[in-house]
Amino acid sequence: MSFKIASSPHHHSQRSTQQLMQWVALAALPGIALQAVFFGYGVIVQLLLAISTAWLSEALVLWLRKKPVLPRLLDHSALVTAVLLAISIPPYAPWWLIVIGTAFAIIMVKQLYGGLGNNLFNPAMAAYVMLLISFPVQMTQWLPPVSLQQAALSPLDAFCMVFMQYSCSGFSLSQLQLGIDGTTLATPLDTLRQDLNNGLTVSESLQRPVFFAFAGTGWLWVNLAYLLGGMLLIKLKVISWRIPLALLAGLAVPALLFWLGSSGASPSPLFHLFSGATMLAAFFIATDPVSASTTDRGRLWYGALIGLLVYIIRSYGGYPDAFAFAVLLANMCVPLIDYYTRPRTYGHKAKRDVK
């Protein structure tokens, strides 16, 4: 037997990195399927483009670095990065957007730092922020749910929209953003923010067709699907429960306090928990084993910090859904969090215990 020294991620599960990444991708499938159902087949087109770009980018850099290509591709870390980025951008964003973003995530954020285990930031979220800052128009062109669109798009229409920005029947993206009543529909988080700025109350805003019950139409079910997938990952011990629980608590607690103080001007905690990318980020993005905190107590602080930052940015910042920014800011704090939460060495006595 030989003792092998390897870089992170280190996991106490008996599964290999390949198996862990496979389970993450599989657990995300229900949420991805519902995204396609509620928001169109463009999700599938983006996934295919992202996965192809990730594999090609990873293979190219590994070949240039004279590293074994196939074993590194088969650990599926590039696959997971591609999946997370593809389902985070608008389904009908132009094809070049996801290609640029995925290549940036793999080449610049992951491989430039030495590959899996050495990257400082979550690759998918770093690429998302780069795209949002560089191409804000394309990154905010979300369509309303399929049930509220003027025209339903077939898989062929989705292909045409992604590559030509027009459906096969001639509808443009701006035309498809109009609801059945002819008004432009934004995402639930955008709609609520605009209504509150215009003097409406939360209850008045929730009467709009883009909302369903206490969350967005479609987004409620998508978040529930990612929640179920995340619970499966916890049960299988693929991820730790600490980061998701702390993140959701860090988001829900301030939301509850402000909602109790002024329910007319602040949405309920349930709205925050089941709108936007909350459950996707809590169970699939923030739990990245490389860029997240590595200590048990540190994971609680790390998750709570992300949740608090999301609430602050959603409420007072310029971006309605702020998980990418929150995750990257928390990534920057990981060395400090790990330093102050590292467990005491076995047999070590603190100075105050020494007489």
pLDDT tens digits, one per residue of 252-286: 999 999 999 988 889 999 999 999 999 999 999 99
Tokens linked to 287: 């739990």
185: pLDDT confidence band, cut at 50, 70 and 90? low
Contacts of 280 (CB under 8 A, 6+ apart): 28, 31, 84, 87, 88, 223, 226
How far is it, in rounded angstroms, from Cα 47 to Cα 115? 22
Whether residue 355 is predicted with pLDDT greater than 50 in this model: the reply is no
The pLDDT of residue 354 is 47
160: pLDDT confidence band, cut at 50, 70 and 90? very high
Which of 346, 211, 351 is closest to 275 using CA atoms?
211
Whether residue 218 is predicted with pLDDT greater than 90 in this model: the reply is no
The pLDDT of residue 235 is 96
| Mean pLDDT across 68-96 | 93
The pLDDT of residue 215 is 84
**CA–centroid distance for 61 within its chain:** 25
The pLDDT of residue 55 is 96
Contacts of 188 (CB under 8 A, 6+ apart): 210, 211, 215, 216, 217, 219, 275, 276
pLDDT in tens, 13-70: 567 888 999 999 999 999 999 999 999 999 999 999 999 999 999 999 999 999 999 8
- For a pLDDT cut of 90, what percent of the chain falls above it? 61
The pLDDT of residue 347 is 62
3-state class (DSSP) for residue 215: strand
- Do 211 and 205 form a contact (C-beta atoms < 8 A)? yes
Whether residue 163 is predicted with pLDDT greater than 60 in this model: the reply is yes
pTM of this prediction? 0.89
Most confident of 4-8, 35-39, 170-174: 35-39
- Do 305 and 293 form a contact (C-beta atoms < 8 A)? no
| Mean pLDDT across 119-133 | 95
Worst-scoring range by mean pLDDT, 63-67, 96-100, 196-200? 196-200
Whether residue 221 is predicted with pLDDT greater than 80 in this model: the reply is yes
Sign of CA dihedral 173, 177, 179, 184: negative
Worst-scoring range by mean pLDDT, 292-296, 316-320, 327-331, 336-340? 316-320
